[in-house]
Amino acid sequence: MPTSNSRFTRVAIVYNPDKPRALEQSQKLSHWFKYHKIQITVANKVIPSMKTANMVMALGGDGTVLQVARDVSEWNVPVLGVNVGHLGFLAATETGAATRTLKRVIAGEGRIETRTLLEVTFRSGAKSYGPFLGLNDVVLRSGATGRVLWLESRVRDRVLASYAGDGLIVSTPTGSTAYNLAAGGPIVHPDLDILLMTPICPHSLALRPLVLPAYEVIEVDVRKPSAEAILTVDGRLIRTLDPGERVVIRRSLKQVNLLMDPDRTFYQVLQTKLKWGGQ
């Protein structure tokens, strides 16, 4: 039976309980790790004992990777995603190639990508709430009524733009291939140190996506005559905001380390997931 002299002596697996294939894959990988004399912890969410792991595997879709990455951001533990969902932009590998990828990672051939996190706070009256962390994006969008949302963005304490439409997306380079892309924003390489602001269905053709340096702090006010605005971070509902309330978005001091297959580049992901591979 093989023994492991790798630095990956303790591994944690977090699987999406809503995906039967994720549970099945977690069981297969658990047996594989035990065969290779690597300690393994398996759960359907991040638990405190995973803090001592050398690597946390996230089995599911991009949503699972996002959740796990946020949950372990304070531990500085690399996250390796195994895609059992649809697109899987954040995954290091697919289910059929998981053990091949793990062999290379354990041999020290894995590539770590450091990704920016967003930190979000909002103010209501005299109270401040947060911070909330996001790896993909922060979104302010119109509520259930579908009425026009009026927003005003500020940078360096000065008004940047006023928006009338369905909302506004502030995303990281990682999130550029998520809601930002669907709303017409640019695809950005994850190594770039920038933030993106993309209006959602603006009522003016003059309003276009904007790329900002990551050190900027973005403030967004909900203005009258808006109805309520829905604040989400990485797709999670945070709060419903009323006119007069403000959201503050900045780059977090925390970061996420994604462990990737050395053969899986960002450009290859674009080619396969977005069907850029040609005929």
Flag whether 151 is in a domain. Answer: yes
- Give the separation between CA 161 and CA 208, rounded to whole angstroms: 10
What pLDDT sits at residue 4?
46
pLDDT tens, residue by residue, 107-132: 889 999 999 999 999 887 778 888 99
Q: Are 127 and 233 within one domain?
A: yes
Q: Are 92 and 178 within one domain?
A: no
How, if at all, do strands 55-60 and 79-83 pair? parallel
- Active-site annotation, residues: 62
Domain that holds residue 130: 117-253
Flag whether 3 is in a domain. Answer: no
Say what the pTM is.
0.91
pLDDT tens, residue by residue, 166-193: 999 999 999 999 999 999 999 999 999 9
pLDDT tens, residue by residue, 223-270: 988 778 999 999 999 999 999 999 999 999 999 999 999 888 899 889
Over residues 20-30, mean pLDDT: 95
Higher pLDDT, 185 or 2: 185
Q: Are 53 and 131 within one domain?
A: no
| Residue 14, CA atoms < 13 Å, CB-side half-sphere | 28
- Average pLDDT, whole number, for the chain? 91
Provide the domain count of the chain: 2
Flag whether 44 is in a domain. Answer: yes
